[in-house]
Amino acid sequence: ANAESLVNAEAIPHNHIPEIVNIVDPSNAVIFQGDTGLFCPNYVNWLNENENDAAAKKAFEVFKPTLDNLNKLLPDSLKVKTVSDVTNYGDTLLCDVYDNRNMPGLTDEALIGNLTHAFEWFSFHSWYGQLPQRQLGAYNLVQAFLDQIQAFRLGKDYYKAVLYSGHDDNIYGVLGAFGVVTEECLMDNF
């Protein structure tokens, strides 16, 4: 199968899937959702706290020149004015940029790089700015790893290889919980 057909599992006829591959039911995506509103009643409160705290306000000032440059390219109805705007709008904008579907006028590589830093900082801070958010965000995935290791140790059924696919916000939960990614390192890299 070519790379394009691998992206769309429906494009691969079922009889062509190698026997060694187990396609896990998409409902198992719960391993990436321990900190979301679906599972944690504090999710919305933490998100609001993080988007309005002193660190977010300070970062908004640091990224303000970048956001002002972006706003020059946007109609009034789409101007980025809040932390929530950065995370919500930034995701779509940057996916388009990195998929070579640039917004008209958004061709400045430095601006695109700075927008990427702003989006990633605010995303991490909004979703994982508090320790309990990082712990909950990592818990289900780390537990799945540990369950596989334990099954191997006990000689029970286990997968010889497991591939998980997720988004930046899923991966940030684990990286943040183990201190691999921090708000400080994201800002330092800006």
Average pLDDT estimate for 159-184 = 83
The reported pLDDT for the residue numbered 150 is 93
CB 115 within 8 A of CB 109: no
| 28 vs 141, residue with greater confidence | 141
- Look at residues 50, 24, 10, 61 and name the one whose alpha carbon lies nearest to residue 131: 50
Phi-psi label, residue 163: left if phi above 0, alpha if psi -120 to 50, beta otherwise: beta
The one-character DSSP state at 24 is -
Kindly tell me if the per-residue pLDDT of 18 is higher than 50.
Answer: no
Q: Which tens digit of pLDDT belongs to each residue from 23-50?
A: 555 555 666 666 565 677 888 899 999 9
Q: Which tens digit of pLDDT belongs to each residue from 65-85?
A: 999 999 998 888 889 999 888
- Quote the CA–CA distance of 128 and 48 in Å, as a whole number: 12
